[in-house]
Every structure is written in structure tokens, then in C-alpha cells.
Amino acid sequence: MPQEPPAAALPACRISEFPCKTNKCIRLDRYCDGRDDCGDKSDEPPHCTVCNRTYYGDVGKTYELSLGKPPLDRIPYNCHLTFTASGHTHGELIQLIFDEFHVGRYLRHAADAGCPDGHMTLAELGRPFTGGFWCGASSGYAVYFSEVSTVTLSLRLFASTAHAATPFRFHLRYRFITRDDAVVRFGSHDKQVERGTGVPGTYCSRQFDECYRKKCKLQSPNYPGMYPRNVTCFLSLRQKEVPHCKHAMITVHQNAEHKIQIKRAAAALPASVNKTSRAVRVWDDCSGPLGERDYLVFYDGPSTSDPVLIKWCGGDWLPKISSRGPEMLVAFHSSAFSAPLHALSPLRGFELEVDVMFSDSDSLDYQRDPRKCEFWINATSWGVGGAGNPPPRWGHVLSPRHTLPPNTTCTYRFHGLAGDTVWLYFLAYSHHSLLSTSSSLPSVLATPATSTTTTSARPPSLLHNHLLLLPPRPASTPPPSPWIGLSGTKSNQAGSGSHHRSDLNHILGVDPAATPSTASACSMRLRIWDGGGTTGLPVLASHCDKDGPRLCAHAALGNATRTTRSCGPHESYESTGTDLTMQHTITEGTALHPVHWRLHYEFVDTNLGGEAWTGRGAILASGAVASAGRPLSRPPIPCARLFRKLRSGDVFSPRNVFMFGRGGAANLSCIYRIEAASNERIRLTVDKASFGGDSDACSTVADPHTGRPSCAYAVGARTSELRLWEVPWRDVRLPRACLCDNTTVTSRPFVYQSASRVLELAFTVTQLNVTEDFDDLHFHATFEMVRSNECSRKQRLRGAGGEIEFESPASSRTDLSCEGLPWMVEAHENKSLFLLTWGSFLPVSGPIDDSTTGSSPSRCHTRSRILLYSGRPLRLARVVCPLPQRERPFSLHVFSEEWFGLPAGQQLPAAPPGTQSYTAVAVAAMAAGATQGFGGYGAPSFLVEWVGRDSASAALHWLEISRPKLALQQRLWSEKGAKPPPDAIPKGNLSLALGWDCPHKCPELNACISESLWCDGRPNCPSGFDEADPKCEFIGRRIFTWLPGGLYFAMASAGAGCVALLLACLLLVLCRARARRRRLQAKQDAGYGGYGGYGGGSGAGTLSSVTSSRGTIGSRGSLSAGLSGGSLPGTYRRTKSRRRSDGTGRRLSGVDGDAIANQPRRVPTSELLLDANS
């Protein structure tokens, strides 16, 4: 029996192919496609179906599948299509492309909303079932990318009355791709995308760590294609590693429209290719029936219990969302039912960019407390690095760099030290709404304190944030703000350099609750209070939305090469005390209503040390003198300070920025007065000083005459100096030192010990630069009181004339206690002064050479000097190189300036070089003297200072003189251009005419002198004319020739008795004078610092003697003119004889200047009561 041939063996086809019975291999999608692809219809068996099969494929090929509408008898209908990528050439992922889809109906608002007739589901192998469905009709392009290698597509149709009338279309293409080809999801080899780590047991939840070093991206499930229905994905972001002293914040954003395509409602946001604005849908727009809308929720923290920053459900871009800390949770939810796609809105899902921002851990641009937005800016807190850094006295505060949730109020509390005020101004301010579609809001709002608001541009880098700006739109001008108008009105009335400007800040008479924009209508409200709270305190500012705060935008333009002017009162805010509170309320959150601002704050130190020095004394000390010689009437100097009743202390320059250029001031002038008690002197040490950056403007040099530091300014240089004065009397300030360069106290401190009980320091800077403050211009000094004996001599003299002798070094106890004290020689009213000394004049300033030292000697033989001061304020008029020889060729004559009939301050032409005549010398002294005389203050005077720098001696004579009446009348007639009347001059010779009204005169001076000096036994006129009168000797001889011889003994006895009685009376007077001086001294100690002088590095010598009018009191002997025996304490060494008048017409015998002071006469209160505050 013949054997049957074996059956034909099937061809060995690949897993992605279908084997035909004709030994042909075809693609799996060709099976049951209605065409005979095998040629024997083995691929089209009867009743075949594409359902319930598993499909494989090759990489690079596209496959197609179609399903027809099932007949009614097969309803309900189930079809499962499984796609598997088996790896290598068969791919690793599956891509499904839906070309046609119409499965059942998709109902949104009906009672049976959802998919009542049928639906499609997608399930991935190994992943939880979501329970979401696609149904309804759609057209266009829709794509699905699997996350795993196997996907099952299930189609279900249910029995329904609408089945026959509902069309059914289903056509898809599918492909198999490798992971290397999925660059949109996974990135390229060199730029891989960090998609996080999947959370086990969840469908799409992921954990993202360390996005600072990785390029993290938040992707929707199955991105970049349709995402499943009815899924909730939690995307947790966390930055674990944070650099030291830094704070991390997570930021999520997406500006590319094609990367944020999620399902929208049917009538929501219709797309248009010609749209000119971008829009987003948030919050209430995301709530639809049965939760039909897909949305993203951003939580400010790691859990859903943290505040919600924004709920976003579609739009053209996702605004920048930043977390408060290093963790953020993003929740994505998709609705349970949906059509696969819309005509012009393919569902590609979303991909969000992730950034990590770092801020300083001690900065003020992030919220520390998760439940409370409150910032404390204290002047007592320490900067980064601990206690090694000084407390922050100023700084910048940024608006929170992270997103604030809705209904958030951030409070900024500024708290300074005692004596501080708070100054702040806004460098930049921006507030706008991202939801605006019809009305425009300015992207940058700059609102000065005027009745209207304006817009201006500023660089975004000022905020250290990315600004989300609306598309360009016409700028709108907001309506006028009533409270800004009030504030601006007051601001315009004040200068920018005022010290206290808080009155410009208050909004007087305006209740913030009564403003046009109420709190409920404001998406943003900014308020500032003058104090540490928000209740019952003055309101400095209240702004709502478009009404921005005062702006000092030009300050932000300053850099290393460009300086800007200071911020004025109308551009800033200042508290009146140590506290200031600012509150920023955000009603709708900053995700969609971003507010970006940057402000500068500064704690202004108003402490000055000591106590306020007010009154006339402070104004006089500041140098404010009117043309008439009277002090100007002006407010107290802000930094005039008085230090008294202290054993030691610190004197320092102000640290108030408003007194410097950076605060708006043009000049700085501060005066400090230090007073010691009785038997005390002041030791001052300047250990720190800075006078600005212009080192060539001024140099501190040694004075050629005294060796004291003085200031040598360059031509045109501004004033920047620290001056020191002694105040020996209330109305006399004697300059002692001047410092003006930064190297003065660098090597060693400047130390000075006073000879008086009062020192005054003046710190003066003019033409301040807008960048200069207390860091550029400052000084610091300390003082302490040292014990010292009081000077028992009277150094302030007034009378008909006298003589002062100088000697150095000092020898006696009295000389040592008065060392360095100047002498003040004063004339009575309507009198003038004449000084006579011996030596040569030296230039007041500059080098000493042969051409300027006078005729003889050609060069000064000693370093000691006699300094003559005049004017108010005192100015050095002449410098004398003293000579011990009292010879006529070396005599120097000096007159007070009013002697020549000049008004105070007018100068005479200089004397010819080498001329020593009294007229030329007086003219030269006037030319070099003070620019202001004593005319406005009282009688003329000279202040005489002896600077004993080596062993030397000198003398100075002074006379109180006056012009004859005839000379005064002749000058008056010559000034009027008239001739004197015939009877104005007495008839007779010229000498009779000259002596008509001046019986006691010095002809060589053409001056009248006191009668007490005439024939007193000592020449007073330079020529000795007062003792050359023959009557002087005749008067003495005739007195005794007229007496009988027997009366000589009686007269001698009576004279002895008178002498004894006189001595007794004199002792009584001296005792009472001493008690009176003690009472005066007690009054002086209570109101003034006492006498003064120089005791520092000049080596001042001793003023040795003063001649009285008619007998000199000496420590060695007795009264030499008619008195014998007894020594008086505290008197001068040498004895001479002269008459003196006390200015009242009485002749005094045997008493000196001190004795005159002790006579019963009226003493002006100004000479007794020395009030430091007057």
C-alpha cells in the first residue's frame, strides 16, 4: 500500500510575523485585515477577528489595526488587544497612535454621566488597574507611549438603546521602539533626564532627590502621550544635601506651551492660532461635574496637609511655583472619563522643569516658619559666621523668593538698639496679575508719593528672581490715591538733608480701612507702622494693588563707577523710635499675582554721647556770627554735645547717616565741649580719625612757631578737619590743634593735656559726597580728668596800663600752676589798647626766612614766641620773636584795630618789609589780624600767649589810650568834607591846641593816657614823655619846703601810724578778698569749667610779672611804693611802680590788678557767672 506524503511543514517565521500555509511569513497586523496576504486565505479564516491576540513587531515598522462595529447579536462586546515588545529588534516600548476613535458616548452633565454605552481601557503589565475609561468621539492626532513592554487595550460595548444609532469607528497604528529612541522621555546619552524613582504599589507616584545636581523633570504618566484616566500621581521632590549656611527651595515651572497639554473642559480655553495673550486656568476653574477636569496641585511641603500654593488645570504656561523649604509635593489627578483627544488640543501630557534655589540661611527672603510668615530684623542679631561678625546695621530685604499661598500675611518687624531709628526705602517694586486678559497692569509699578502713580522700567536682576511678565499692553494710569497725595504734600515741604524726617511719613487723618480700596478688594496690601505693632500706632504707609509705595529707584542704579544722589524724605520712610513694622498681605497668593520688591533698611544711630549742648554758647562755638558781630538766630546744632561731671568718657563723631552725604546732608559740623571740675585738667587722646579718601587735600603739619599740629590745605580743597580749642574764659576760645589727614593717628594716638578746665572739639566737613557716611568720616577720642592746682593769678587784666614779664622754664609754684594760660588785656569802653614789646615780627604762617623776620636780628635766636590774638572769633594777628634787650631800636608797637577808625573786619595795607615804626607795625598788625573785631562785642582787647619752647625771657607793656577830642572832631569833619568852625580850636599856639582836651598824653602816639600814669615814677609813653614834665619833680620838692621844720617829726610819727593802720586795713581787705574769690570760684565750678591754657607739647613757659598802677605785689618782698614788710600769696615776682586807674576815675595806690578787683565795685554778671549752656 503506497505511503502518504507527509504534511507540509510551516515556515520558521519570527515572533512578529504570521506563518502562512504557503510557507510565507507576513506581519501580524495583516491577519484578518480583510485582504488575502498569504495567497491561500490562511490569514483570513472564517469568523476570524483581530481581538484577543498578542501582537509583536519590529523596531522601525508601523503596524495598523482596525475594528468594525460589532452586530447586535454580539452585544455585549469585549475585545482585548495585547501589544508586547520583546526586546532587542522587537523594541522595548509600545507606541499606540489613534487615527479614528468613536466608541459609545461620552456624557458630561447627564445623570448617567460617563461612558454608558461602552469604553476603552489601557492596562500595562505589572501596574495597578486605574479604572479609567475613554469613550465618545474624537478625531485628530492622539498617541500613547507605554511605560512597560506589554500593554493590553480593551474595548467594551454594552447593550443600549442608543447602540444602533451610535456609530463605531476604531483605527490605530502601533509601533515598537527602543529606549534609546525615546529621547523626549529619557533624554539623550549626554543629557539624560532624571525622572525620579517609582514608588512601589503605585501607578505613577515618584520620588525625586538631589535635583540640584541632576536635571529633574516632572512628567505625566506615559509622557509624551496620553496619560491614563482616573489616576492620582504624587510627585515628591526633596533636596537632601544643602551646602553649609544655605537654605534650599524647590521651583517648578514650564513656559513651553507644547509641554503642558492636559485635558480641558469642552468650552474651556478654546485654542486659536492668532491669539495675542496667554492664559491659565486655576482654582475654581478646575472644579467640574464629577471631577471631569484634570489638574495639578502644588503643596508647600512633603504632604497634602501642607498649604496649597496653586491648583492648576491648564493653560498656555505654568507660572513659577517655589516651595518654602527643600521639599515640595506635586499631585496630579486625571478624571475617570474622557475622550482620547480634541480636534486642536492633543493630549501629550506635561513635563515640568525643576530647579533648586539656594539662599543664605540667615537671609530674609524665605519664610522660616511653615505656618507663620514673620520676619524679625534686629540690630542685635549677628551675621553669618557667629559672634565674630558685627551686628547688621543695614542691609537689603527681598520679597519672599518662594510662592506664598493665598490669604498669607507676612510681617516684617524692624527692631533697633536704644537710640536707633529705622530708615527704609524701596529700590524696586513690581506687582501684576497673571490672570489679566482685558485690563492691563504695569509690569513694574513705581509710585512716588504724589497724587498719581507712574510706571518705569528696572532691571530684573535687582530681585534675584525670574519675573513673569505679561505680553506688552498699553500702560494704564491708576486713579489718584488720596493718602498718597497727603503724604506727598508734606514730603515736598522738607529738605532731603533734614535730621528728623518722621513727620513726613505719617498719613495724618486717613484711616486705612476707609481708603477707596478696601481690604476685601485688594489682592495685595502693603502697610507700614511707626512702632513695634499694628494696633493704635501711626501709619506711615498704606498701599493697595496698583498703589505702590514710595520708590527710590535711582539708588539701585549705583555701582562702582556710578554714584547716585541720596534718597529723600519723599522717597523713603523713617520711624521716630527704635521699631518699625511692615505688613504685606496677599489675598490670592503670589503664584498668579507675583509681587517682587527689594528694600534697603538701615538702623540709624542717633546716639551722640554726653548731653545736648544748647543755647547761645553752642551757637557761638559753632562759629555762626552775623556781620554785626551778633550770633545768628538758628535752631540748636544737632550734634553739639556737652560732657561734664564725668571722670572719663568717650567722644566720637555721629553715626547718623542723615548728617552725612549718603543721607542727603551737604556739610557736617559737630562741636563737643568737655568740662572739668575745680583742681582738675583734661587729658584727651584721639586714637582714631578718618577724613575721607582725598589724601592730598590737606596735611597735618607742625606749626613753625608752637610745634602744635596744624592743617595745611591745598588750593580749592574742602574743609575736613578736627580742631581743638582751649576755653580759658567763657567768651574766649584759643586754638590748640588741628588734624586733617588719615595718617595723623595711624602710628600713634594724639595726646593732649589741657591747662584749662574746658576743652572744645569741632569736627567739620564741607562739600560732602553723596557716597560718604560715618565709615568714611569719623573720629574717636577718650578723655580723663587729672589732678592739677588751680592758677591763683588773675590772667584777665583791665586798667590804665601794666607790664607783663615772661620767663621759661617756670620756676615758682604759682608759675607752674599757671603754665600755659594766656593773658587777656582788655580796655574800657570807648578806649583803645597799645602794646609795646621788644623783638621782631615773624610771619604768622609759612617758613621763617631772612626776608620776613624783620630788620634786627635777621633770624630769630630762640624757639620761644609771643603770640598776639585779636578779633572775635580769635585769630592770630602777630607773632613776635622776643628779645630780652629793652632798647628802642628793637621796640615793637601794636595798636588795636579800631584806633585807625576802621570798622571791624576791614584790613589796612601791609607794612613795608623791614619797617618797625609803630605806625607801620600797627598797620601791619591790623592787616594780619582778625577779620572781625570786638566792635560788636564790647571794648577792644588782646589775647597774649607766651610759648616757651626753650630758655628765654621777654616783657610786654600795655596802655589804655584814647584820642584827643580835637583829633576826633578833625577826623569827623574830614570824613564829612567840611571845615571846622573858627571857634572849634582854642586860640594860641599849637601845643595849647593839642593839650586843650588832653592834659596827659603821649605826643609820639598822639594819644591820651590815664592821669594815674602821669608822674608815677616810671615811663609809660614809649618816649618817657609822661615822666619828663618838670612839674613831676617840682611837685614832690615843694610839698616838704612848705612845711615848718618842727612838723617833720610829727609827720613822720603820723606817717608811721598811718602805715600801721594801712597794713591792718590791707590785711582785712585781703582776707575778705580771699573769701570772695572762694565764693566766686564755687559759682564758677557750678556753671563753667574755669580758666584754661595750654599744657601740651609746646613747652609753654611762665608769665612772670605784672606791674600794678602804683606798686607791685611780689612774692619775694613787699609793696615797694610806700609800703614795707609782709608778703602776699599768689602774687608776681618782680616789683615795679606805676599808677593805675580802675576805670572809674579813682586813683589806686599800692594795689595791683588783683587788688583792684577786690575793691568794692559793681562786677558785671557776665564776668562772674559762666554758664555752659548760655
588-592, 610-614, 834-838, 984-988: the lowest-pLDDT one: 984-988
- Here the cell at position 810 is 617756670
Q: Say what the pLDDT of residue 729 is.
A: 92
Measured between alpha carbons, how far is residue 292 from residues 53, 113, 266 in Å?
A: 33, 10, 10
CATH topology identical between 374-464+479-605 and 624-787: yes
Per the CB < 8 A criterion, the answer to whether 1009 and 1002 are in contact is: yes
What is the rounded CA–CA span in Å between residue 29 and residue 43? 10
Per the CB < 8 A criterion, the answer to whether 575 and 528 are in contact is: no
Residue 271 has pLDDT above 50, yes or no: no
Q: How many CB atoms lie within 10 A of CB 466?
A: 14
Residue 1031 has pLDDT above 80, yes or no: no
Q: How many CB atoms lie within 10 A of CB 424?
A: 25
Mean pLDDT of 659-675: 93
Return the half-sphere exposure (C-beta side, CA atoms, 13 A cut-off) of residue 457: 3
Q: Which CATH number fits domain 624-787: 2.60.120.290, 3.90.1150.10, 2.102.10.10, 1.10.3720.10?
A: 2.60.120.290
Q: Say what the pLDDT of residue 223 is.
A: 94
Which single residue is written with the C-alpha cell 484577543? 52
Protein fold of 374-464+479-605: Jelly Rolls (2.60.120)
pLDDT band, very low/low/confident/very high, at 1063 (cuts 50, 70, 90): confident
- Here the cell at position 1005 is 602816639
Q: Say what the pLDDT of residue 683 is.
A: 97
Residue 454 has pLDDT above 70, yes or no: no
Q: Say what the pLDDT of residue 835 is.
A: 94
Helices (H), 137-277: 183-186
Mean pLDDT of 737-749: 84
Mean pLDDT of 446-456: 33
Q: Say what the pLDDT of residue 1030 is.
A: 76
pLDDT band, very low/low/confident/very high, at 133 (cuts 50, 70, 90): very high
What is the rounded CA–CA span in Å between residue 581 and residue 587? 19
Per the CB < 8 A criterion, the answer to whether 970 and 910 are in contact is: no
Residue 436 has pLDDT above 70, yes or no: no
Q: Say what the pLDDT of residue 1066 is.
A: 84
What kind and span of H or E run contains 804? Answer: strand 801-808
162-166, 237-241, 664-668: the lowest-pLDDT one: 162-166
What is the rounded CA–CA span in Å between residue 330 and residue 765? 61
What is the rounded CA–CA span in Å between residue 118 and residue 1067? 137
pLDDT tens column, 218-229: 999 999 999 999
- Say what percent of the chain tops pLDDT 70: 69
Helix/strand/coil for 838: strand
Residue 249 has pLDDT above 80, yes or no: yes
pLDDT tens column, 27-70: 999 999 889 999 999 999 998 999 999 999 999 999 999 998 88
Measured between alpha carbons, how far is residue 155 from residues 69, 75, 227, 865, 953 in Å?
A: 11, 12, 17, 120, 128
Report the residue count for the chain: 1174
Per the CB < 8 A criterion, the answer to whether 625 and 439 are in contact is: no
Mean pLDDT of the chain: 76
**1131-1143 burial: b if 16+ Cβ within 10 Å, else e:** bbbbbbbbbbbbb
Helices (H), 159-253: 183-186
What is the rounded CA–CA span in Å between residue 116 and residue 157? 9
What is the rounded CA–CA span in Å between residue 130 and residue 135? 15
Measured between alpha carbons, how far is residue 463 from residues 250, 508, 941 in Å?
A: 18, 32, 66
* Range ranked top by mean pLDDT from 272-281, 353-362, 428-437, 519-528: 353-362
What is the rounded CA–CA span in Å between residue 25 and residue 11? 7
What is the rounded CA–CA span in Å between residue 79 and residue 108? 25
Q: Say what the pLDDT of residue 543 is.
A: 92
Where do the structural domains in the chain lie, given as residue ranges? 49-181, 186-267+279-361, 374-464+479-605, 624-787, 817-1034+1092-1106
Residue 1044 has pLDDT above 70, yes or no: no
- Say what percent of the chain tops pLDDT 90: 43
Mean pLDDT of 831-852: 79
E-state strands within 17-162: 17-19, 25-27, 53-55, 62-67, 77-84, 93-103, 118-124, 133-134, 136-145, 150-157
Helices (H), 273-332: none
Q: How many CB atoms lie within 10 A of CB 301?
A: 16
Cα–Cα nearest to 48, from 63, 61, 35, 64: 35
For the chain, the farthest-separated pair of C-alpha atoms sits apart, in whole angstroms, at 214
Pairing of strands 640-643, 668-675: parallel
pLDDT tens column, 799-818: 899 999 898 888 888 888 89
What is the rounded CA–CA span in Å between residue 526 and residue 549? 8
Per the CB < 8 A criterion, the answer to whether 260 and 267 are in contact is: no
Per the CB < 8 A criterion, the answer to whether 504 and 538 are in contact is: no
319-328, 523-532, 743-752, 1085-1094: the lowest-pLDDT one: 1085-1094
pLDDT band, very low/low/confident/very high, at 114 (cuts 50, 70, 90): confident
Q: Which CATH number fits domain 49-181: 2.60.120.290, 2.40.40.20, 3.65.10.10, 3.40.50.150?
A: 2.60.120.290
Q: How many CB atoms lie within 10 A of CB 614?
A: 15
pTM for this model (two decimals):
0.70
User: Dihedrals φ, ψ of 554, to 5°?
Assistant: -65, -20
- Which DSSP state fits 962? B
Per the CB < 8 A criterion, the answer to whether 185 and 93 are in contact is: no
Which single residue is written with the C-alpha cell 515651572? 253
Q: Say what the pLDDT of residue 385 is.
A: 36
What sign results for the dihedral spanned by CA atoms 804, 809, 814, 817? positive
Opening angle at CA 1068, ends 1062 and 1073, nearest 5? 120
pLDDT tens column, 362-383: 888 899 988 899 999 998 765 4
Pick the more confident residue, 983 or 1041.
Answer: 983
Opening angle at CA 261, ends 257 and 262, nearest 5? 145
What is the rounded CA–CA span in Å between residue 1167 and residue 325? 74
Mean pLDDT of 1005-1018: 87
Per the CB < 8 A criterion, the answer to whether 568 and 490 are in contact is: no
Which single residue is written with the C-alpha cell 612757631? 705
Q: Say what the pLDDT of residue 267 is.
A: 41
Residue 480 has pLDDT above 90, yes or no: no
pLDDT band, very low/low/confident/very high, at 659 (cuts 50, 70, 90): very high
Q: Which residues does residue 409 pair with via DSSP β-bridges, in sequence order?
A: 585
Q: Say what the pLDDT of residue 252 is.
A: 96
Helix/strand/coil for 946: strand
Protein fold of 186-267+279-361: Jelly Rolls (2.60.120)
Residue 647 has pLDDT above 90, yes or no: yes
pLDDT band, very low/low/confident/very high, at 846 (cuts 50, 70, 90): low
What is the rounded CA–CA span in Å between residue 924 and residue 926? 5
Mean pLDDT of 113-119: 87
Mean pLDDT of 977-981: 60
